[in-house]
Structure 1
Amino acid sequence: MKSAVFYSSEDIRYEERNRPVIGDDEVLLKLRACGLCGTDIYKATHETVPPGTVLGHEIAGDIVETGKRVTNVQTGDRVYVAHHVPCFTCDFCQKGFYTMCPQFTATNVEPGGFSEYIRVPALHVKHTMGKLPKDVSYEQGAMVEPVACCLHGFERAPVHPGDSVLILGAGQIGCIQLQLAKYYLAGKVMITDVNENRLLQARSLGADIAFHPAAEPVENRVMKETDGKGADLVIISVGSSALLKEAFQAVARGGTILVFAHFPKGDVPIPAERFFNDEVKVVGAYSSHPYHYREALELLKAKVVNTEKMVTHRYPLSQLLQAIECARHPEGESVKIMMYPDE
């Protein structure tokens, strides 16, 4: 089989690999679509994974082989699958912090989503795999995991009807979050980005206000749009720790800042007095967990999250490097990129 294999930030090879062999409780999946995630781009760009790694985890495909003890799916089923599984029993899981579970990042599919065939281990078959209805496309199936990530974020920082929401970053995650915020009856959804094409896309997906932060200071614009109150919820969807300061400037008294992006290591000065004086909350949200996959699928099926509008580019696996270059272009037109087997 063929896989797109990472070796360095400028070296991703489309090469032959052995097709995985499955066990009695596992399945073999033929890839039909795999989303290019921001974490894939980050790992490839910053070389945070070892050479020889196959990235990709937003997966949809067809089951072509099942182990003899598998009963919940069968050959021919169209499915989605996610890449991490908690244990459901440790102290973290008991408290609902499934993504903090020690087992969570120890599980994965083999070799990764950017491959023609993928072995799905037993825990994933049981907990993170689901069938796609006939009226749900493979692209929608590949969006189940990122939508579930955003649902986990809103679980940590809920939107209440009438809330004002500010999203810093109109990339693929920011655009999912704005659609969900509207679904949760946010009163006004504002979004920023340095890419004008993404701002146009955000407007088409329902953003009430979409603006470039260089055109007007974010704090000024948010205060103008909220009658001086500030945003009830500020979501940081870009991996820049400098945005934490911007978030504090824009958040309302009693508001919440949701950190939904990977920050580089290092300290960031923040106005600590706001915790006491204004009861501002800062929470983080990492990845997704199995309790949100069914909900994500239903939201995609109902087009609450509009995959057709979000997917702007499609590439074969052999052009993964070109897809990553397209995604990280500062003035590019990409929002969501989907990868497909070359056939």
Structure 2
Amino acid sequence: MKKERKIPEVMKALVAYGKDDYRLETGYPTPECGPDDIIIKTEACGICAGDLKCSHGAAMFWGDEMQPPWVKPPFIPGHEFFGHIVELGENVRDFVLGERLIADQIVPCGACRFCRDGHYWMCQPHNIFGFQECNNGGMAEYVKYPRTAVLSRVPEEMTAEEALLIEPYGCSKHAVDRGQVTNEDILVISGAGTLGLGMVTYARRKNPRKLIVLDMKEERLQKAMEFGADMVWNPGTCDVVKNIMELTGGYGCDVYIEATGHPSSVIQGLNMVRKLGRFVEFSVFGSPTTVDWSVIGDRKELDILGSHLSPYCYPFVIENIMSKNLKTEGVVSAMFPIEEWEKAFEHATGKYGDLKVAIDFR
């Protein structure tokens, strides 16, 4: 006999059937709760730059002649979400109904070599919430956390605007950690969007010798100063490479973190980082980047470091947002109901001056 559910059988959800084919559905089936699963009622879901690039058909998601498709439609987008438990599988012992949870973006398989040796964020199957039908995301009223989801509790006293930054700030922390920033380093962060600002407020705790932030938008540079930058420069109004060289006696910065996703930022960083310096690439790109690789090897012998997701970062981020050690004021700039998802996606491009934009299910 089937157990009677206390939540609706259908829900509102944004469903991606193909690139440029996203549809709001009001009668989408609510996820079934298996014996090892958790169902949450979504409180809010942030819109990531990756969500935008996926919706516009970027090759890293949908594939091209160089790479196979990664997404598995139809799927519900969104990986920056959180909510309260409304259903528990019979085998779940560590959580109770009503708890407020958030999950790492990736749903590790638990069986591949990366999962077994602790590098779960590089799980070989690499299923992430909001891109495959088997792991639908948070742009829906209800979401299923499967058994292997990496879960963290969200304090009830944390505001929705703060909780929306747990995922992006986790990514920010991991990127800065990859750069091995010390108090002797001149650090340049290229990009002062949500992720860049998360890097700024976390990097400030590392106390680098100079923390310099680059962005083309003056209002974002002002926010970067509020969050702890020592200097801010607009590449559209000054020669930032020349500025770095003058500041460092012609050597260049020690660490450059690329957080724009624009090819010009990559070239700019390779030009301004010193010999034996560290270049951290975080972004998802919408178009290919062409550089002279001899700069990396023969000319500078650089350490090129990738940064992916936010492994082991959520507990730190939650604790330090709550203690106000990580600044969040004004980053979440707009929230929309799911019925206005197209407007939300448009605002998330930044064309109206927004930083983090979210879908609000409260």
TM-based fold match above 0.5: yes
Structural mapping, 1:154-193, within 5 Å: 154-193=176-215
Are 2:127 and 2:135, in contact at CA under 8 Å, matched by a contact in 1?
no
Structural mapping, 1:178-217, within 5 Å: 178-217=200-239
Partner of 1:122: 147
Further displaced range: 211-220 or 107-116: 107-116
Q: CA RMSD in A?
A: 2.5
Partner of 1:295: 316
Structural mapping, 1:78-157, within 5 Å: 78-87=100-109, 90-93=112-115, 97-105=119-127, 110-124=135-149, 128-157=150-179
Are 2:191 and 2:259, in contact at CA under 8 Å, matched by a contact in 1?
yes
Give 1:257 deviation, angstroms.
Answer: 0.6
Which whole-Å CA distance do the structure 2 matches of 1:177 and 1:247 have between them? Answer: 16
Partner of 2:16: 6
Further displaced range: 38-47 or 231-240: 38-47
Give 1:106 deviation, angstroms.
Answer: 6.6
Partner of 1:337: 357
Give 1:115 deviation, angstroms.
Answer: 0.6
Partner of 2:5: none
**Partner amino acid, structure 2, of 1:250:** M
Which whole-Å CA distance do the structure 1 matches of 2:167 and 2:126 have between them? Answer: 15
Give 1:292 deviation, angstroms.
Answer: 2.0
SS in 1 for 2:244: helix
Give 1:277 deviation, angstroms.
Answer: 4.9
Structural mapping, 1:262-281, within 5 Å: 262-264=284-286, 266=288, 268-270=290-292, 272-273=294-295, 275-281=297-303
Are 1:56 and 1:114, in contact at CA under 8 Å, matched by a contact in 2?
yes
Deviations 1:258-289 (A, max 9, x none): 01112356462225255355432111112222
Structure 1 318/269 Cα, relative in aligned 2: closer, same or farther at 3 Å? same
Give 1:41 deviation, angstroms.
Answer: 1.4
Structure 1 217/12 Cα, relative in aligned 2: closer, same or farther at 3 Å? farther
SS in 2 for 1:177: helix
Partner of 1:237: 259
Which whole-Å CA distance do the structure 1 matches of 2:174 and 2:294 have between them? Answer: 26
Further displaced range: 251-260 or 204-213: 204-213
Deviations 1:273-332 (A, max 9, x none): 55355432111112222x2221222222222332233111121122121111112144x3
Deviations 1:195-250 (A, max 9, x none): 22222222222222222212112201222333433211101111123322211111
Structure 1 250/299 Cα, relative in aligned 2: closer, same or farther at 3 Å? same
Which whole-Å CA distance do the structure 2 matches of 1:33 and 1:117 have between them? Answer: 11
Are 1:12 and 1:321, in contact at CA under 8 Å, matched by a contact in 2?
no
Which whole-Å CA distance do the structure 1 matches of 2:79 and 2:151 have between them? Answer: 12
Give 1:96 deviation, angstroms.
Answer: 5.7
Which whole-Å CA distance do the structure 2 matches of 1:39 and 1:107 have between them? Answer: 12
Which whole-Å CA distance do the structure 2 matches of 1:267 and 1:340 have between them? Answer: 35
The two structures have a TM-score, normalised by structure 2, of 0.84
Identity within the alignment, %: 28
Matched, 1:15 2:26: yes
Partner of 2:80: 58
Structure 1 229/81 Cα, relative in aligned 2: closer, same or farther at 3 Å? same
Are 1:242 and 1:268, in contact at CA under 8 Å, matched by a contact in 2?
no
Structure 1 309/277 Cα, relative in aligned 2: closer, same or farther at 3 Å? same
Which whole-Å CA distance do the structure 1 matches of 2:354 and 2:279 have between them? Answer: 26
Give 1:194 deviation, angstroms.
Answer: 1.8
Show structure 1 runs of 5+ residues with no match.
Answer: none
Give 1:74 deviation, angstroms.
Answer: 0.7
Show structure 2 runs of 5+ residues with no match.
Answer: 1-10, 63-70
Structure showing the higher helix proportion among its residues: 1
Structure 1 303/219 Cα, relative in aligned 2: closer, same or farther at 3 Å? same
Structure 1 133/246 Cα, relative in aligned 2: closer, same or farther at 3 Å? same
The two structures have a TM-score, normalised by structure 1, of 0.89
Which whole-Å CA distance do the structure 1 matches of 2:142 and 2:349 have between them? Answer: 27
What is the aligned length? 337
